[in-house]
Chain A
Amino acid sequence: EIVLTQSPGTLSLSPGERATLSCRGSQSVSSSYLGWYQQKPGQAPRLLIYGASTRAAGVPDRFSGSGSGTDFTLTISRLEPEDFAVYYCQQYGTSLWTFGQGTKVEIK
């Protein structure tokens, strides 16, 4: 099982600032099969990024993903009020898909 560790647990930032979220795997993630999701309270998660760096349909270009192997990053270039949420990474490079524990981006 690939364990994904996200850091930091909580990120306190102001609107307009840049957010950098990390996701580290206990093993290399095959073919960069790594996705990022946003979840707001009371809502289902929403796919933002797949294949480590490809934005899903309708996702604003302020969201970008990068990385390979065991280290991946989600960057939000300029935080909008609607971006304050919990973000999860997920790997699907093995038969057993796993999620990170989440990073909460909160308003400072």
Chain B
Amino acid sequence: QVQLQESGPGLVKPSQTLSLTCTVSGGSISSGGYYWSWIRQHPGKGLEWIGYIYNSRSTYYNPSLKSRLIISADTSKNQFSLNLSSVTAADTAVYYCARAIRGELDPWGQGALVTVSS
């Protein structure tokens, strides 16, 4: 059974880069056919899809974040990562990683709260 777990700093200063890693267990991110995805949820709000990586190299990003976003994968560690630069308070959110097949997201990690504050 595939499980995902987010990790990274819970506090990031404005203008810095938010970096999170998703560690996958019970399956390989190198296996084809899956979109390894990031989603975020602002406090008390709905869900926002951030982007995904597939085939360990190809990426697609939400256009609203594209200029600040890099998603990458480390197949040797079975991890994929999110880097969001030039953060502001508007980037404060719970960040989730998830696996998608056609686009339906399942399973999800438990989520990581990242607060942007000085």
A residues adjacent to B (C-beta < 8 A)? 33, 35, 37, 43-47, 50-51, 56, 88, 90-93, 95-102
B residues adjacent to A (C-beta < 8 A)? 46-49, 60, 62-63, 96, 100, 102-111
Shortest C-beta distance, A3 to chain B (Å), equals 12
Complex: chain A residue closest to B97, CB-CB: A44
Q: How far is the CA of A98 from the CA of B103 in the complex (A)?
A: 10
Chain B residues lying within 8 Å of A51, measured Cβ to Cβ, are 102, 104
How many inter-chain residue pairs (CB < 8 Å) link A and B? 58
**Contact status B109-A56, CB under 8 Å:** no
Shortest C-beta distance, A56 to chain B (Å), equals 6
Shortest C-beta distance, B93 to chain A (Å), equals 13
Q: How far is the CA of A37 from the CA of B49 in the complex (A)?
A: 14
Chain A residues lying within 8 Å of B110, measured Cβ to Cβ, are 43-44
**Contact status B63-A96, CB under 8 Å:** yes
Shortest C-beta distance, B115 to chain A (Å), equals 16
**Contact status A92-B63, CB under 8 Å:** no
